[in-house]
Every structure is written in C-alpha cells, then in structure tokens.
Structure 1
C-alpha cells in the first residue's frame, strides 16, 4: 500500500511517499521496492530491500525531489514491490504527482547602457525560467516619460527553459545644449493586451511610435525585469558651447557688471522685507506640517541599496533652498516628515554619484512634483543613482597573450577584503572582449558605480581574476593582469583495498586555478594525469570515488615540473559483509536462510539466495570500524551466530577470513527417516519391494503418515519422512491383508536414519476340487464374500482348476468371511459350495471342495 497516492510535488523540494508491505506467507520473505516513471537521480528509497518474518509488516519511504524546470502538470508514476525468490509476485500501484504552475520570465539587457543621440538600440535576452509555456511581451517605462520604446518582435511564446533575443529600440528627444541627458528606464514582463500585431490596445489605434504594450504599473508592482540607461548626447556639445560662451562673455562682461551693480543699489527695503517674510513662513511651514515622503535609493547598475545619500525637499516653485533634509540609512531608506501641505521636488546627492531630481531628472526644471495634502504621505518612492558609464582599459602580460579573452563579470559573492586575491567567479558576464596582439584590452560603456571581476582566460593557461571597484563615470586605465602558462603536470594512480580504482575523480586546486580529470577504466586502470597546471604553485588534490572515502593530498610543483608516481589510496566509505550458507553433511548451498547483522544499535537483514547462487548473501552500508553479530536462521536449521570485526578500511580483523567469506555450515534442526519395505510369500521367501504400504510415525499426539512408492521401478517400496522433530517414534508398517509390523526408533536433530521392514505374505485361499476321489480339472472356482452370496453381487475372484484339480487365490482382503463355489463352466449351475470360512491377515487358508459323483 502506498500513501499518499496523489500528492503535490514542488520542484526542488522533497515529496515523501510511504510504502507499506506485509508478509502474508508462513516463511521469512523479502521484497524489493522500486519507483517507476522518474529519473533515478530524482528518487531515494531509504530501504529498497525489505526482510520480513511471517505476518510482519515493514515500511519504506520513497523520497522524490523533482528538479527545477520540470513542466507543470500531472505526472503518472508508480511504486513496484517485487517478492524475492523464484516466481516472486509483483505488485504495482500508480502514484500521481502534480507539479503546480510556477510561471517566471526573466530578462536582461545587453548592453545595459547605451550612449547615443536621438535613437538607441539595446539587445534584450528573455528566458522562460518557469515551468509553463508563457505568452508575454515586454514593456518599457521611464519616470520622466521622455523615452518611447519599441520591441522587435513585440510578443513571444516561450516553452520552459527556452530563450529569445529581442531588439529594444529606444527613442527620445535629445537635449540641445549642456551635459548628456541620463535617462534610466525599466523593463517589465507583461501579458499582451489586445491585438498586438496590429498595434491596437483596447480596440483603438495606437499612434505610430507609441508603446503598444505599456500597462499602468501599480505602486505595488514587482521589481522590474531589467534596468537600463539611455545616455543622450546634446545636439551642441560642451566644447563648442564653451568656445561660444567665451566670446560672448568678453563682449558683455562690462554690461553684466553694470546691471548687477544697478540691481543691488536699486533694491528697495520693502523687497528685502518681503523676501524675509516669505522665507520665514516657508521655514515655519516645513517644520510644523503633518505630511511626509518616504522611499529608497538604489544603485542604477546593480539595484543594490545606497546608504548616506543626502535627500533634500524643495518647494516646487523655488528649487533653490531646501526646506527639509535627511540622509538614507544602511538599508537605503529615507523619510522626510513634518512637511506642510503643498507641492515639493526632491533632490538626491551622494559622493561619486550624479545629482538626481526625483524620479530621475538631471535638473529641477524636469523634475516631477509631489503634491501632498494635509496629513498625506507619499511612500514607496524609488530613486536610482548612477553616473556616466565608465571605461576600463589595461594590458594582459605574459609569454603568449594572443587569443586570450577578457570578461567583465559581476561577482557572485561579497567583495573580498582589500588586498586579498578574489576567487574565480562564475557571475553574470557584463562585457567580453578579445585581447589584442599586444595584450591591450578596453571595456567601454561599463555601468557604474559597481564592483566587478576582470577575468582573463586562454586554453592552456590558468584563469586569472582581478577585482576592481569602479566609480561613477570613471576612466580607469593602466590595469595590468599577468597570464600564467600552465606548464606543470601531476600524474599517478588511485588504488583501493581491492586494487586500482577506475572512474575516480581527481581535482587539483591552487588559488583560483582548478583542474580536474578522472582515472582510466581500461588499460592502465586507475591512472590519471593533470595537465596545464601553472607553476610554481602548491596544489590541493582531492581524490574521490563512489563507494570510497575521499583522500586529500598537498603537492608542491616547481617551475615547469612534471610530478609523477603520485599514489592515492582510498578506503571504503562503508563496510560490507557476505559469504555462503550451506547445509551439512551435503555441503549444498542453503537458500532462504535469514541473515541478521547487528552492531547493537542498528540491524541489517537479508536472505540467502535460492536461485542464481544458492546460499550466497551480502550486506553493505555498514559503519566502519565496528564489530558486528551475524545470525543465521531458518525454521528447519539450527541457528548459528558469528561475531566479525571490521577496521577503518573495511577489512576483517577477527571472526572470519575475509569480509566476503563469512560462511556458515548449518545442521538441520529436524531429522529424517527413510527405508524400504519388502514382502514375503506364504513360504517366507522375500518376493521383492512392497508398494502402497502405509508407514505411520507416532510420538505423543504428533503423527506422520506416508506410503511406499509404486513407481518408478527403482523407487518401488521406498519411503521418506522429512522435517521430523527430534524424539522417539513408533513406526508402523501396514498393508491390506497383511499383518502389520511396528518398530521404535529414536531420532536426533540433523540425523538421517534408515529403517527397513519386511512384511509377511498377504492372506490367500487355496485348495483342491475332487470328484469321485480324483482331481477335477478345468472347473470354474468362484470366491464370494459370505455376505454377498445369493445376491446380485458377483464373486470377488474367479479361477479355473489345474489338471490336478488345484486352485489358488493368492492375495485376498483380510480379515473377511468367504465361501467357495464350483461350477462346470461360468454359465453352468453351481455344483458345490464350501462352508463359510474366515481369513485373517497373512493367513494361507486351505479350502477343499468335493463334487458329487456324476
């Protein structure tokens, strides 16, 4: 029985099924439990083989862990239980595992930042990481609403694990003058609306260039799928404007000075008083209100929180004087409270970051106002800080740097402490460029600020990693990374207690260099070679193989050294005991013997084989070192107990020759009685074996009964009684019409005794038929039971006299009453009958009959 028969299975989590098996036979039985319909790596059966005494019930737990990415829906699987031994029955119960829907679509921008004019093109990689087929689309949005987004293709259908690369075409009005406009934007995954193919939303045409997929995003919307930055260069760059400005400044310098002095002189006292009053009222309102704003500041390049950023609130009509200030905490959060009702603009400034006005504007004029009523709060504000994309350049040095690759990766772990060499990473690749023939490399448009790993790799060389902390808009040059050639080798052999081990894993690690291989399984079994190792270095070599405990070596390699002859010896990770069970004195293998192995805290059970290799048994998974008690038992055999000790390598230290030779020669716990029964004739001469003789053994209330064989001829008259409990028995041999014979025999455990018997001849009737004193030849003699004569029942036997008038009925039922009738022929009338006579067992009765004279 399997419980439950239907369960919800979440990928990556264990689903536990309980299998209950009951032994309904009257002998010790075993069964195997298998789970069908799933990959073997997904399933663990805690007790795949069950051993049970008669009437006992055992349980096994089946643990199913479906991997991530298994498609949603119902999966039909089954639990199979098969009885051990010849003709074992098999039971199969179906199990339904339901994998719930887990839709998920991820997206990433390549590159994440593009510097352009009015238009820019981004690559977007969209991947379905869920377990259902998804029909979705991308939508883009920027807080200022100054960028329009288009996608080619604009919708996609992705099966689980499938990915597609789309093209994002961003377009926005570029600034005429000044600094480049930094326009951060977000990408989200959205269900397609309306007829996307025709550019319609809700049945109404969408203007050319508008985002046909853009939904309204709620304040509690999930995080964006990707964040990008469009940096738009101004129409007139800063250099040209600086030249023009210099010329204009020379011309109007005197005018500016004159106007400024005139303005100061002419400003009236009333104007100054009014300005002071407005400022005072504004300051008082900012500290006595009941409204507030709150939110968080995150890094544009990675989305991580940013602490210590100054947050300033300004009156929307006067962005020159801050009414309230605060700074983000360690979680990047901020809050400005006690604000008066009104419209505000927020400015965010941090060291190394570009100044940003909420939500992502470079100036107050383009900033979005926040309208607060009395007692209202604006929460959940998110601001992204960043700078102009950075540029990294440097040189890869070494003997042969041509063909090397430089990758810029996001570290998977927290940055190491200063001065420590970073470990090799496998994070997301931000940029990848080939190294020039002279070893130079350049990484442009790097999102900043952020921490990156620069990874240099080339086949045959050790991978080198250098961690860099990139500031906003930084132009980092002079980075130098040395590419180390792998010119060292380590070779050797992996052996175990039974000899060389094939398919063992060998992993060598030195710093950020990891090289692995496996040992040979053919030819020079167990040998290995690790190549392309950078030298000089100290390597930690870990050797592991299934069923063995791992070994760790520390090896030093000098420059260009080829280290040979390394030997790694693996001990077993668990012990194993096995052997043969036989029955004396035949020495034949005994199947169905229960074998119990116990260390006092835990017990392992198995049954000796009955078919392929009768008497063989084995138990694995034993903790080592340890001492185990091995018990052999079967109902008809005397139990045996052996104590075996195993060392840390699984070898036997006492109790047996070897771990696979824990043998047992068992004696029967019952006895056997065999023999042959013969028969004699009426003269006492043995005539041969007697078939169908009933042999009865009695001991107290116990009684056993068999019959001697009638076929084949070689076994005629033989009998055998097996599985007799030791004791004293009365053995009686009986056969119809023959006198019974009894003997007493005492049997010991394991004894096979022989008891032959000879029975007397069966009862018979013979005689002579005479007429006028001479033998009557050729007359018919009929033998009747006395109770049947004169009825319709015929004779039990009939014969014809010899020339001398003799007749014989050699074997008749006894004891019984008979009479003899004589006729001239079978159809003639009776001439004479004898008196009624009684025949006893084994009696040779003579009955003569005299016929009347003719």
Structure 2
C-alpha cells in the first residue's frame, strides 16, 4: 500500500476547514481493504469522507480529509500523520507525516471604564487589557494629552498576557486645577508600546448627502462634513498597511494609533455657579423688599381670592411636574470618521417653547443616549458638547431648523442618529532654520487615517507602513520670512501630518492631533539641509543579503532604502540625511532578525563601510530519544520553551523511531527542552541557539529510563528441626509506602519456587513484608529509584511444628496413628488436618503447622478405629516448636 500527498506542509486558520487530499495505491497482488485516520489530532478536528475503502491490485483512490482546528489553538507548527492501515492478515501500515502551521493572529483590546471622569485635581480610570489573539503579548501602556497638562500613572505599568487572558488596572490622571471659570475638558489617548504588529483599528466614514460616490470624507468648517477631492495618488495608487504600534515605532515614522480615548473633566476651584449665586443673593434681597412692600395689599385680599390664587398655583405646579411613559433614544457620531462621541449633552424642548429644557441626558462612551418618562407631545432636541458645534436634531443650526419628534403615550422612538462636528480649529507655528522663507507648509490627512480607510489600495506584499507626507492635502500655507505659518478653519477633531518642505532641504513631517476647536500655536519645525549619507553592506552567515530594508530615523525624520539585489549585492546608501545628528538605523529582511544600530554623523559627513550582520529570525531544534529495551520510543512529548514562546511535538513512530524536530523558534534564545511520557521519567535539557541558528550542544539527544522501579528476589525458609533452608512457595510479599501498597505471592512451580517480582513500583521508600501461614513474618526497608531493580532474598524461620513421643509402660511404642484436628473441628465430621505414625523410637512430628491456632491430637492403633488417647487443646504460635508426649499404661 502506497500513500501520496500533494504537499507535506499546510497553513490552517482556526475555524476555517482545510482540505487535504490523500492518494492511496494498492501495490499488492490481491484486493486489499484499508482504513484511513489522522494521528496527532483530536478526532473531532478531522472529517474523512471514506474512512474505509477497498482497492483492486494496482488501483488508486483519493480520500479527502477536512481538517478544522478549533478557534483558540495556539499559533505555530503542529506535526500530524496520515495513517493507512491494511485490513489483511499482514496488517501493513503506511504513515506519512504532515506539518500543520497555525498562523499568528495577535489581537489586543484596551478599554477605559469609565471613559469620562469629572473631578478636581485627580481622577482615576479603570483600564482593561485583553489578549484576544493566539500568541503571547507583552507591553506597556502610555497616555498622551494634546495640551500636555496631564500626568499619567498606570498600575500595573505593563502586562504579559497569554491568549485569552485579560488584566484590569488603574490609570491615575493629575492636572493643575483651574481657579475660576467653567469646566476644563482635557481629552487624552492611550497607546500600547509592545512592538507587535496589529491590525488597523476599524473605522467608518460617513459621506454627506450629495457627495460623490467613493469620495473621502474629511472634517469641514463649522463642524460639517464635506466631500474633499483627493489627489489621484491618494485615491487609487497609495496603499495602507497595518501600523506598527509600540516601542519599536521610530520617531518620525508612522505614529502609533491610539487604542482607547478618555476625557478628564476638571471642575474649577471656584465655579461659575458660585459667582452666579452671589448675584442671585442680591436679586433675592431686592425681591424680598418688593414683596414686603406689597405684602399689605396681599393680606387685604379676601379669603376667596387667596384660595383661588392657591388653586391656580397648585394647578401650575401639577402641570409642570407631569410625567409620561414615552421616550426617545439614539446615537451621536463624529461627522469626520463616524466614531461615537461620548459626553454630549442631549436637551429636550417642547416644540412650542425652545427656551425651557424639559429633560436632559448625556451620551455614553458608545455615543448612545436615551430619555424616558416623557409625556405625549411634540418635541425638539438640541445636542451640545465641549469643542463641538451646537446641533438641533437632525442637522439644524437653530431651533427653527430642527425636526419635530412627535410622541404618543407609551411610544418609544429609537434609532435617532445625529452627526456632530467639531468647532473649526486653528493651527500655527514657526519653522526654525537659517533660511525658512519660501518653504511651504501643508496639512495632510494620513493615508492610514480612518477618514481614508478603504479608499487606498494596499501594496502587494508590503510590510512597511505608508510613507509619511503622502496623505490627502487639506490646507496649504506659505512660510513667511520670519518662519511663521498659520492655518485657519481647520476641520477638527482630527489627526494630521504637518509637512514642511523647501527645495534643497530635507522634508520635515510631524504628526499632530488636533482636538475639537483647539487653538494650536506651539508647533516648531526645524528645516535642515540633508547633506549627510550612510553607506554599507548587509550580510548574514550565508553571505550578502539582497533586498533588505534599511531605515534611518532622526527625530521625526525618516530616510529609507533597500540593499542591492545585483552588482554589489547587499550594499546600500542612505542619502539626504540631516547633519549633525544621531541616527537610529534599523535593517530588516524576510527570514532574518532585525538589527538596530546607532550612527553619529558630523556636519556634512558621508559615512561609508557600515557593516550590518543579520541573524536568522527563526531556528530549528531536533534530536533522538532512546528508551529502555522492550518499550517503544514513539509518543514521547517534547516541549520547547523560553518563557515567552512554547512549542510542542511528539517523537516519531516511523523510522527513525524516537526522532523529533521543532522549527520556527525565535533567535537568538536559550530554550528549555522537556521530554515526558507517563511510563518514563521526565528529563529537562537547556540549550542555547545563537543568531545564526547554531545549537550549543548540537542535536538534542536524550536517553530516558522507566518512571518506576522493580523489587525482585527468592524467599527461602529453614526446615523444621534443621539448619538447612529451601525456596518457600506461597509466601505473601507486600510493599507499603504511605497509602500505596503493592503485593504478590512467591511462585510455587518447581522451576521458579520461592521467586517473586513486584513490577511498576513508583519511586520511594517501602517496607517490604514477607509472611506465610505458621511462620513469623519478616520485613525489610528498601528505597526504589526510577528505572532501578532492587533485589531482596529473605530467609524465613522454621514454620510452627508439633512433636512428641508415645510410650506405654515407659517403653516407646511404634506404629501408632496420630491424627491432628483443629480444636473447633474435633468431634465433628471434619477430617483431620494431618495424620502421622509413630516411629521405631516412639516419636512423631507434625511439621509446617498453621499458626497461631488450637489443636487436638488423637492417638489410635494402627489397625483399630478406637481412640487410645486424646490430648487436651494445644495452643501454638507462629514458628513455635510445641512438644506433647503420650503415656499409655498398657495396650489392649
């Protein structure tokens, strides 16, 4: 039987069925049947369309296996095998190994709870970090606020999460508290520094009515969304790749995207309400004087007039305090990118009177709101938020443009949607340099922004983030002779790339986050000539490395190139570098571990001869497991781990049996290799793999021994009345250690008489006891080590016996019959336990008597049946030698 597979390696995404086609050929000369199964996988993971089939000689058939790994399976390679077993008498088996690789699917979810906190000087937020991927993630959290007025403290400062794990921590914010005025709204963003590539955050864009299909949506003036034309390069030819989030993001490279956002709302020390209260007290005083003057006229009114006034006031109160069973609910989203807007005030007015608020609510962290207990009637809604333009539902600037929402008794109007836009912001700053005049400043929407999500095609096979400075241009302003620039009516809130360029100078790109309605005026950009260069060679242990990516960063400036793939293979040149400066140079290539260097350039320096050696990104460990004779070397579990990465496999059952191999191990690293199987003693080996994949110890070969030991030997016993000993059969051998007890009986067959073996004895200290009926037991203490055989050859003392002499008239009597009965059975129909005859000297012997016990001896003549004498009840203990003599006066 021959088995063929189209491939030996498969990549299987958990939850997605993966077909594997197996071709089976009958190479015998008879019709053969066979069964097909997959080894190394849970049976629930595999579906076989033909588990059993029959084949004519030289015929072939295809069996389709459908492999579905459950969601949550850790990433990495898994070794499995397709087994085809013949159903004939020979039971031939064909096994073909396959390697199933589960790709890495990292995923991290970070949430703030609550999203908005109103406090004074200090506020605490709950932070929930959850690993919803299939790889181990480690990192730290950090926070940034646009005004840089908040200090942040995380407890704990970092995290290390296995797949499915989560951790809840605390974020403490502190900021200087305002003395007077209204509430100070301080938004901030959370970032993850983990060096792990993550999928882009999902975002949706909302195009205003009338926008051209496919046109990107950018924030517009006065908080309205407008369709902005995007250059052809941004609309169809540029690409988006997942941003790299974490400490590995170089300054000036694509800025990390926030994973969560929050708002710290600070109350002033002396609120505006306190000042209003003082004015109110003055007004109340004046009002009291007026009331006192008119009180006399009020008292003069008749009782009927007073009662009527009270009734009218009571009616007005009852009317104003009325409640109902109707309600409205909906959601508020940002017009620029469709993200929910928390903390927005929702005010309900009667349609006929938009001066008095009937009910209020605030949007949650998901942007949702709900107002209940409204009476039936017609209403209008106003939505206001700090830094956002006031909107009357659904998109009116005034109450006259608001849409009326009619409610009947008990009616719940849901799904109301309101788009909110930020108040236009102002961005200004200064370009520093000897000759800043003539430079041009641009505000661009980054290509990885949610506004452009889905509008720019990704590069085929691209692994790097999109280049900075190639986004959609929103505003352009010239730089004056004094180096200043300014952008008015900037759509907000939004994230922009500020690009400053001038011929002959290095283009400078700064990522800025503009809050709603913010006046950003503290920006400084250095415009420097790019007159430096770095050149060198990228190599590895196997020679020059072509196509390696070389990135040099300084501040927020980035210069990138690749090593040559022909001519001087592996060489590279980075030109147009600002000097003097210190650059961080990162070199990476597929299949290799990245290398990072720090390079100092003096003014106008052209550095040459930089040598970069790349090590392998992943290595391989393999070896051979040897087990005790008589057992199979297959099925030994092999676990390789460095604390962060863990890989597992089992030893092969096919030739060479006991071999194993695990690939895809990060380098360089020190790994702990553990070998285990239920019947074998586990072994642990530590190995070091360098950056080129070389293993410090070579192949990892181990010899394992049994996990249990043996106790064996031969039991002998001294014969009654003699010093000679012989093997003793039917001796009970018991080994006890704590609550564990093992027992066996010594052999009674002639060739093995007295021999015993206690198998599968767990390691430990045991008390071994040897006992036999009629014999005092003996014990020994032994220590059993895994894989060891302990030999014990005990000698038991003589068994219990009864002897004596029969005399008549003082003379020995021979030939008389003596019968031994158990005392409790004497006089019943029970037979005698033993019968002996007195010897020529009148002596008799009952050897090997069960003890302890009570016996009676009956003396009879050799020919007669009448008892001549009977002994009293005789008590005998283990290994006792009891003597009882019979004395007869005469014999009839």
TM-score of the two chains, using structure 1 as the length reference: 0.38
TM-score of the two chains, using structure 2 as the length reference: 0.36
